[in-house]
Amino acid sequence: MKRLILAGVLAVAAAGTALAQSWQEPARGTQTRKDLMSAIRPIAEWRLGAPVQFVVKDLRVAGDVGYGRLYAQRPGGAKIDLNATPISQRMGGAFFEDWEEPYIDVMYKKSGNMWVAVEYTLSASEAWWASPAYCAAFGPVLTEWCH
């Protein structure tokens, strides 16, 4: 009897977890993943200089919304010298002395057949997306922050 009850509790917990995590991570090599990277690349290159390669730390899609945390580097894994980037030069230089490596948090929206980076930050110090407005729009991919 105890095994039956334990099995029931585990099944309910697993169902709750599946509902809470309704997003999927687009696999490497898929068109969706390529489209998401292509949507943010011009923004990253405008700020960090070209070329930029992304190391995906987190990438989520649910329906027509997405979220990503992407670490930026030069092709082949070379570190980006943040003080030599276009954004640093536009801001007078030496602005990023305390940053170790740049990352981008990005919110995506699918528009027709195209993914668009609709909101992003470069190395944010807080979870700006954990607010009622962002949770209302992007809640399915922000399950840890939006309850």
pLDDT in 10s for each residue of the chain, 147 residues = 434 333 343 333 333 444 457 899 999 999 999 999 999 999 999 999 999 999 999 999 999 999 999 999 999 999 998 888 898 888 876 666 666 778 999 999 999 999 999 999 988 878 888 899 999 999 999 999 998
Q: Please report which helix (H) or strand (E) contains residue 13, including its range.
A: helix 2-20
Q: Which of 18, 17, 127 is nearest to 67 (CA)?
A: 127
**Owner of token pair 């009622």:** 132
